[in-house]
């Protein structure tokens, strides 16, 4: 019990700091206060985003750990059990750091932006309280989950898994509670004409509440997978023994697998989010996607390209350690160029820099035809198909395809051909129909793709059922550059999250709560893109540093165990 | 060491066949250089109109990344490239020219970039260009007149009236066919040429109220969107503006953006 109290002490002291901030804010006279040198906005920005990244991490790790733990339990795989435990070890300290950042963030926002925070504290008092209760429960379960890991083994393993499920359920509820505030700021609902919240239910279930939940939930799992892979890559590169190399190689692969398998759903979650923004306020959609903030999407396309291509590159190089993998190596350059081209399409701007020499002005036919949304959706779909094909190659490489099953292979080819054909037809049509029809078509295309991919995997299962393997995967026999790819992927992932965090906040322009509570501070205007990216990079570095601290602290723990 | 040995064993079949039969293929380094050079020439000189310089640089980044990925997918290719540019292996004359050109041209390119970055120019500073800037509050909340709301029910008499207004006022820049190629168009290039309404990324992407705002206020005095488009508020009545917009959409063969409910 005393251990529990000790672990909760940090949480409680952070809550205390937050509450002191809140009480102090209600006694403040002015609407805004500034922070010396680095400015009030930057302080809150850095604290909020770093906290969000940590929050994503502590939501991601339990999901990731649970998946691996269940996998290990079902397949009786000792290695998975070890990996799950290795990661669960990170939880207690990560929770404390998140709590510290959260406490500081609340404290700073209430003292620097009292006008906004007082507005939110009114109608959302109940949700603030709910949040405090939920994080206390969550942190208790984390404590139990970690301390009972060794006790609940063997027959009792299922109980431990249930604890993991409970942790994830509460964790998701915590995230959803925090999403109420963020989504309300972006698309407030349940408001009277004079800006008073009249229906708390509508305010909670506003336009972007569910899209934000879904998007964040998927992204968090992916994030966890990639961070695990990057950590494994770091350990791989610094391993001295073959045995360690093999373990961390396998760990990197598992992390990447979880990361990519969830990441391919993210573009669709993003479309859904975008669609809801457009239906909430068409103008916000245009500002976000085509106007002042459109450059964010170009940067995003580039970082996502790094994530997608980086992971595929890792998997391609991984063929070297699978006996029989060399059969597929000759196709890889085509796949690689295919992905590069699809991402070049995605990243093509609608308009770029206007200089005399360029005479851009949005009139160049390349800008006009490739820079709009229609080809980008096709490009993303084809990029996802590229990832799927990479996975198929990885599954197939080390196996002999049993005789008489060629049929399933041809069925897969037909499905892949169909996906390409449908996307090209939709692309052609997209240029000739209304935007509203085009957006609907993209949803149906996604549904078609999801079903087709499902069938491709179904046939793959039939094709490889009981297939004889060509030899054991030689874990650890991996080119060093593949590990650097994993690290770059994780860093790009963090950067992308910080970028889009900024994007979502910037979409409100000069409003604290869009259309309801105006930002009248001197920081109401958007920073330039250049300045924003500098701060985003600083946040990325800060997060990496803190994560390094977590890994360092838990690494010393390891020796004691 | 083991890794290296294994890599050598894993050399693909074709290479072995080629080596056995003595067929000399083009070194991959030359192909890589060829891809990079061709991509640049294609974008700047073959495609008409050529890609703008900034866009070319942007795409070149992808090309370079693609080449780098291609090379590093295979240990053998990395070795070949290293060997090729280390000048330790004798190569036939044409490939020799290629590698000497690369080691001479790459530093020169860097030098030229440094030079142009520091050279004093008299061109207006380049700026990020946003075609769809954020409109003022009234545009977002404005009501569209009954006759202009539904593009499927636009009456031909209004469109015909719009045509006359368009031909009187808009043709010089935006052209008879609404393609941005009016007789005066070539004189206006900075920061934006007259809009080609047929292009997918222009009026088809915008709600009709947004277009109304652009016609009414123009771009000369606008703080966000700077263009040579005059504001028509004083020349045309509100109805005239709606009609000319209806005609423009009809002529360009597109419809205003609407939203799924």
In chain A, the percentage of residues whose pLDDT exceeds 90 is 44
Q: What's the rounded Cα separation, in Å, for the pair A394 and A408?
A: 17
For residue B45 the two structure tokens come to: 């000189």
Radius of gyration of chain B (CA): 28
Candidate from B126, B134, B199 with C-beta closest to A354: B126
**Mean pLDDT calculated for residue range A380-400:** 91
- pLDDT tens for A495-520 read 999 999 999 999 988 899 998 898 99
User: By CA distance, what is B174's nearest residue in A?
Assistant: A363
Residue A196 pLDDT level (bands cut at 50, 70, 90)? confident
Helix (H/G/I), strand (E/B), else coil: A383: helix
**Mean pLDDT calculated for residue range A59-88:** 88
Helix (H/G/I), strand (E/B), else coil: B226: coil
Closest CA to A378 of A267, A489, A517: A267
Query: Do the Cβ atoms of B127 and A353 come within 8 Å?
Result: yes
Note which residues in 93-132 of chain B have CB less than 8 A from chain A: 123-132
Lowest mean pLDDT among A77-81, A419-423, B27-31: A77-81
CATH numbers and ranges of domains, chain B: 8-118 (no CATH), 137-252 (1.10.760.10)
**Mean pLDDT calculated for residue range B231-236:** 92
pLDDT of residue B7: 44
**Mean pLDDT calculated for residue range A302-325:** 92
> A360, A506, A527: best mutation site toward chain B, by most B Cβ within 10 Å?
A360
Instruction: Name the residue with tokens 């004798």.
Output: B90
Q: What's the rounded Cα separation, in Å, for the pair A8 and A19?
A: 16
pLDDT of residue A437: 80
Q: How many residues appear in chain A? A: 561
Helix (H/G/I), strand (E/B), else coil: A326: helix
Helix (H/G/I), strand (E/B), else coil: A513: strand
Contact between A66 and A164 (Cβ < 8 Å) = yes
Helix (H/G/I), strand (E/B), else coil: B128: strand
For residue A101 the two structure tokens come to: 């950042």
Domain ranges of chain A: 2-277+518-560
B45 touches chain A (CB under 8 A): no
Gap from B203 CA to chain A (nearest CA, Å): 11
Q: What's the rounded Cα separation, in Å, for the pair A249 and A257?
A: 12
- Residue A558 pLDDT exceeds 60: no
Closest CA to A142 of A172, A116, A113, A163: A163
**Mean pLDDT calculated for residue range A266-281:** 86
> Within 13 Å, how many C-alpha atoms sit on residue A128's CB side?
16
Taking contacts as CB-CB distances below 8 angstroms, the residues of chain B near A530 are none
Q: What's the rounded Cα separation, in Å, for the pair A178 and A171?
A: 11
- Residue B247 pLDDT exceeds 70: yes
Model ipTM value: 0.86
């Amino acid at each position: 019990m005393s251990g529990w109290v000790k672990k909760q002490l940090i949480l409680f002291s952070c809550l205390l700091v937050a509450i002191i901030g809140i009480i102090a804010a209600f006694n403040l006279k002015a609407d805004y206060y500034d922070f010396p040198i680095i400015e009030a906005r930057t302080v809150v920005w850095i604290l909020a985003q770093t906290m969000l990244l940590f929050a994503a991490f502590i939501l991601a790790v339990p999901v990731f750990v649970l998946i691996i733990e269940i996998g290990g339990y079902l397949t009786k795989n000792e290695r998975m059990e070890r990996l799950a435990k290795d990661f669960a070890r990170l939880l207690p300290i990560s929770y404390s750091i998140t709590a510290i950042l959260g406490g500081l963030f609340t404290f700073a926002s209430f003292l620097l932006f009292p006008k906004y925070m007082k507005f939110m504290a009114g109608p959302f008092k109940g949700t603030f309280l709910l949040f405090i209760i939920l994080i206390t429960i969550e942190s208790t379960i984390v404590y139990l989950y970690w301390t009972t890991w060794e006790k609940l083994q063997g027959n009792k393993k299922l109980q431990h898994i249930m604890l993991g499920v409970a942790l994830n359920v509460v964790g998701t509820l915590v995230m959803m509670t925090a999403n109420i505030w963020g989504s309300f700021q972006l698309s407030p609902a349940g408001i009277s004409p004079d800006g008073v919240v009249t229906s708390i239910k509508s305010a909670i279930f506003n336009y972007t509440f569910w899209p934000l939940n879904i998007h964040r939930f998927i992204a968090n799992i992916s994030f966890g997978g990639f961070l695990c892979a990057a950590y494994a890559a770091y350990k791989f590169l610094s391993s001295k023994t073959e045995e360690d190399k093999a373990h961390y190689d396998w760990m990197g692969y598992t992390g990447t697998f979880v990361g990519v398998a969830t990441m391919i759903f993210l573009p669709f979650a993003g479309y859904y989010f975008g669609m809801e923004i457009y239906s909430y306020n068409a103008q916000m959609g245009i500002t976000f996607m085509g106007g002042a903030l459109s450059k964010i999407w170009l940067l995003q396309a580039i970082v996502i390209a790094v994530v997608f291509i980086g992971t595929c590159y890792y998997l391609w190089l991984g063929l070297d350690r699978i006996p029989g993998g060399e059969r597929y190596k000759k196709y890889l350059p085509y796949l690689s160029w295919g992905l590069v081209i699809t991402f070049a399409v995605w990243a093509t701007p609608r308009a770029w820099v206007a200089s005399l020499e360029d005479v851009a002005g949005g009139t160049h036919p390349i800008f006009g035809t490739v820079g709009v949304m229609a080809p980008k959706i096709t490009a993303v779909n084809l990029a996802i198909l590229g990832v799927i094909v990479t996975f198929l190659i990885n599954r197939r490489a080390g196996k002999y395809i049993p005789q008489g099953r060629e049929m399933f292979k041809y069925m897969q080819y037909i499905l892949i051909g169909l996906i390409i054909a449908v996307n090209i037809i939709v692309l052609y049509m997209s240029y000739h129909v209304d935007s509203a029809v085009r957006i609907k078509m993209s949803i149906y295309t996604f549904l078609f793709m999801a079903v087709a991919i499902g069938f491709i995997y179904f046939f793959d299962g039939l094709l490889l059922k009981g297939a004889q393997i060509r030899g054991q995967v030689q874990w650890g026999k991996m080119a060093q550059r593949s590990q650097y790819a994993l690290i770059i992927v994780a860093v790009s992932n963090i950067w992308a999250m910080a970028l889009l965090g900024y994007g979502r906040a910037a979409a409100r322009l000069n409003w604290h709560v869009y259309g309801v509570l105006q930002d009248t501070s001197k920081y109401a205007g958007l920073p330039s893109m250049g300045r924003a990216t500098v701060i985003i990079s600083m946040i990325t570095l800060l997060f990496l540093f803190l994560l390094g601290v977590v890994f360092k602290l838990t690494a010393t723990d390891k020796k004691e165990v | 060491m083991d890794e290296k040995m294994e890599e050598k064993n894993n050399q693909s079949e074709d290479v072995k066949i080629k080596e056995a039969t003595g067929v000399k293929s083009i070194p991959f380094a030359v192909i890589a250089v060829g891809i990079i050079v061709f991509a640049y020439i294609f974008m700047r000189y073959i495609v008409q109109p050529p890609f703008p310089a900034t866009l070319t640089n942007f795409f070149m980044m992808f090309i370079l990344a693609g080449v780098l990925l291609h090379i590093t997918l295979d240990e053998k290719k990395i070795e070949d490239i290293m060997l090729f540019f280390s000048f330790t292996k004798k190569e036939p004359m044409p490939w020799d020219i290629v590698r000497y050109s690369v080691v001479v041209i790459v530093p020169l390119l860097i030098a030229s970039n440094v030079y142009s970055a520091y050279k004093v120019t008299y061109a207006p500073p380049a700026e990020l260009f946003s075609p769809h800037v954020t409109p003022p509050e009234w545009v977002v909340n404005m009501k569209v007149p009954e006759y202009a709301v539904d593009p499927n029910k636009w009456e031909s008499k209004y469109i015909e009236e719009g045509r006359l207004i368009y031909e009187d006022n808009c043709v010089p820049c935006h052209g008879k066919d609404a393609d941005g190629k009016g007789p005066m168009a070539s004189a206006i290039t900075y920061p934006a040429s007259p809009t080609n309404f047929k292009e997918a990324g222009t009026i088809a992407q915008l709600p009709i109220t947004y277009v109304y705002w652009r016609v009414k206020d123009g771009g000369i005095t606008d703080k966000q969107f700077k263009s040579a488009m005059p504001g028509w508020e004083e020349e045309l009545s509100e109805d005239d503006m709606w009609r000319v917009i209806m005609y423009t959409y009809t002529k360009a063969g597109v419809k205003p953006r609407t939203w799924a409910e």
